[in-house]
A = this chain, B = another copy of it.
Amino acid sequence: MTLTDRTDAAARKILYGGDYNPEQWPREVWDEDAAAFAEAGIETLTLGVFDWAQLQPSEHEFDFSQLDAIIEHVVATGRSFVLATATGALPPWLAHQHPEVTRVDFQGRKHRYGQRHNHCPNSPVFRRLSPALAGRLAERYGNHPQLVAWHIGNEYGGFDGGCWCDNCGIAYRVWLRERYGSLDELNRAWNATFWSHTYGDWDEIVPPNILSEHWRGPNHTAFQGNTLDYLRFMSDSMLRNYLDEKAAIRAHDATTPATTNFMGMFRPLDYQRWAEHLDFVSWDNYPPGDREHARMALTHDLMRGLKQGDPFWVMEQTPTITASRDVNPVKRPGVLRLWSWQSVAHGADAVLYFQMRQSPGACEKYHGALLDHAGRTDTRSFREAAALGAEFERVGDALLGARTPARAALVFDWNSWWASEITDGLNRHLAYPAVVQAYHRALWQAGVDLDVISVHDDLDGYDLVVAPQLHLVQNDVAERMRAVAERGGTVVASALTGRVDASDNAFLGDAPGPFAPLFGVRVEETDSLPPGEVNGVRWADGVEGSASLVFELLVPEGAETEAVYEHDFYAGRPVVTRNAVGSGEAWYVAAHADDAALARLFAPILERHGLVGPYAGAHDLEFAVRQGTGGRFAFLLHHGLEPVEVIAHASGVDVLTGARIEQGQTLTIAPRDVIVLRED
Contacts and interface: CB of A to CB of B under 8 A. Distances in A.
B528 A327 contact: yes
Given A96-B203, A366-B424, A198 B374 contact: no
A206 interface: yes
B211 A365 contact: no
Interface string A301-344: 00000000000000000001111101111101100000000000
A129 interface: no
A328 B530 CA distance: 9
Determine which residue in A195, A328, A332, A428 has the highest number of CB atoms from chain B within 10 A of its CB, and name it.
Answer: A195
A91 B200 CA distance: 9
B524 A214 contact: no
A208 B111 CA distance: 11
25 contacts: A24-B191, A50-B193, A50-B195, A53-B196, A88-B196, A91-B200, A92-B199, A108-B109, A115-B195, A116-B196, A159-B215, A191-B359, A191-B361, A191-B365, A194-B359, A225-B362, A320-B525, A321-B528, A322-B425, A327-B429, A330-B527, A360-B505, A367-B424, A374-B522, A380-B525
B425 A365 contact: yes
A64 B500 CA distance: 32
Interface in A478-532: 500, 503-511, 522, 524-530
A211 B105 CA distance: 9
A57 B569 CA distance: 48
Question: Which 9 A-B pairs have CB atoms at the shortest separation, nearest pair first?
Answer: A366-B425, A191-B361, A323-B425, A114-B212, A92-B204, A114-B213, A53-B198, A89-B196, A361-B505
A211 B99 CA distance: 13
A115 B380 contact: no
A528 B325 CA distance: 10
Contact of A109 (B24, B159, B211): B211
A5 interface: no
A203 B110 CA distance: 18
Main secondary structure of the interface of A (DSSP, over half): loop
A38 to B, nearest CB: 21
A602 B123 CA distance: 61
A425 B354 CA distance: 14
A147 to B, nearest CB: 21
Given A21-B193, A109-B107, A525-B330, A225 B423 contact: no
Interface residues of A, number: 113
A305 to B, nearest CB: 31
A620 interface: no
Contacts of A24: 191, 193-194
Interface of A: 21, 23-24, 50-54, 57-58, 86, 88-93, 95-96, 107-116, 159, 190-201, 203-206, 208, 210-215, 221-225, 320-324, 326-330, 332-333, 358-367, 373-376, 379-381, 423-429, 500, 503-511, 522, 524-530, 569
Given A198-B54, A204-B93, A373-B507, A329 B528 contact: yes
Contacts of A95: 204
A359 B92 CA distance: 49
A508 B360 contact: yes
Contacts of A201: 92-93, 96
B363 A530 contact: no
A464 to B, nearest CB: 30
A360 B454 CA distance: 26
Given A114-B222, A193-B21, A196-B53, A373 B508 contact: yes
